[in-house]
């Protein structure tokens, strides 16, 4: 079974980001970049399936500029077999990404696509669902457990009321949640081996995908700062402030 794992290059989650002075986006100059944490969980799950003998090949794919090769090499150091970079200088939105991934799926013919449920920069939580719809495949989102047997995937997913288990006929799309696994660290020998693993670069124009964005980023601004809290000396004073100052009770 061949597994395709899309990954995204994002600012490392430990970095405190700040908006650009003109509000046009986030300042990523000299910022440490990394694999999106949810994507890293997807890579780990695909590698574990290969180690169990369920999968035969794990392919990672990213859509972006040449700098994304760094994250693709990192994914191969974790255990992925090869990588594909769909190269574009344009920042694409979820629907365009899903269309690109559909074209990659058509070229590679994987039995499963595993990807993070969302990226920590856009937080859209849309690409996996859109990809499944475009492919006409079954989907299991927010997976906290994944098992493959008899040509089907058993996906335990986290929902508001608890846990829900779905049985998906393969091929299928699965999006990963935080509790699915804990990604491993890449060892130095595997980092060195990853440098020799195949990484194919594919210009996005070759896929013949229409990638026009359908929404516009108006402004990026930091959240409003919170006022300092105060101490009250009595319940009556608290009620008075809630009623007359905060106006949250009547």
Give the HSE-up count for residue 62: Cα atoms under 13 Å, Cβ half-sphere. Answer: 29
- pTM metric for this prediction: 0.86
Residue 62 has pLDDT above 90, yes or no: yes
State residue 228's pLDDT score: 84
DSSP-assigned letters across all residues of 167-217: EEESSEEEEE-GGG--PPPPPHHHHHHHTTS-EEEEEGGGGT------S--
The pLDDT > 90 percentage for the chain reads 74
Residue 178, both tokens: 């935080």
State residue 83's pLDDT score: 97
Taken in order of first residue, the domains within the chain and their CATH numbers are 2-225 (3.40.50.620)
Residue 170 has pLDDT above 90, yes or no: yes
Burial code (b: 16+ CB inside 10 Å, e: under 16) for 9-37 equals: bbbeeeeebeeeeeeeeeebeeeeebbbb
DSSP-assigned letters across all residues of 128-158: HHHHHHHHT-EEEEEEEEEEEETTEEEEEEE
């Amino acid at each position: 079974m061949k597994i395709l794992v899309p990954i995204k290059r994002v600012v490392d989650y430990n970095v405190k980001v700040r908006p650009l002075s003109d509000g046009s986006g986030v300042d990523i100059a000299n910022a440490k970049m990394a694999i999106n944490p949810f994507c890293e969980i997807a890579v780990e799950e695909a590698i574990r399936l290969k180690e169990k003998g369920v999968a035969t090949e794990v392919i990672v794919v990213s859509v972006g500029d040449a700098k994304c090769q760094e994250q693709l090499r990192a994914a191969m150091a974790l255990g992925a077999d090869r990588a594909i970079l769909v190269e574009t200088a344009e920042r694409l939105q979820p629907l365009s990404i899903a269309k690109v991934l559909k074209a990659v799926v058509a070229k590679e013919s994987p039995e499963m696509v595993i990807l993070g449920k969302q990226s920590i920069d856009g937080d859209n939580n849309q690409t996996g669902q859109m990809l499944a719809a475009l492919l006409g495949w079954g989907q299991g989102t927010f997976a906290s457990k994944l098992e493959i047997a008899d040509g089907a995937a058993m996906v335990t997913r986290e929902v508001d009321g608890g846990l829900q288990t779905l049985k998906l006929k393969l091929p299928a799309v699965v999006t990963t949640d935080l509790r699915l696994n804990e990604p491993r660290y890449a060892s130095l020998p595997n980092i060195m081996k990853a440098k020799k693993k195949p990484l194919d670069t594919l210009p996005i124009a070759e896929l013949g995908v229409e990638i026009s964005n359908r929404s516009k980023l108006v402004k990026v601004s930091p959240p409003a700062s919170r006022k300092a809290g105060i101490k009250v000396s009595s319940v009556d004073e608290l009620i008075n402030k809630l009623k007359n100052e905060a106006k949250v009770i009547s």
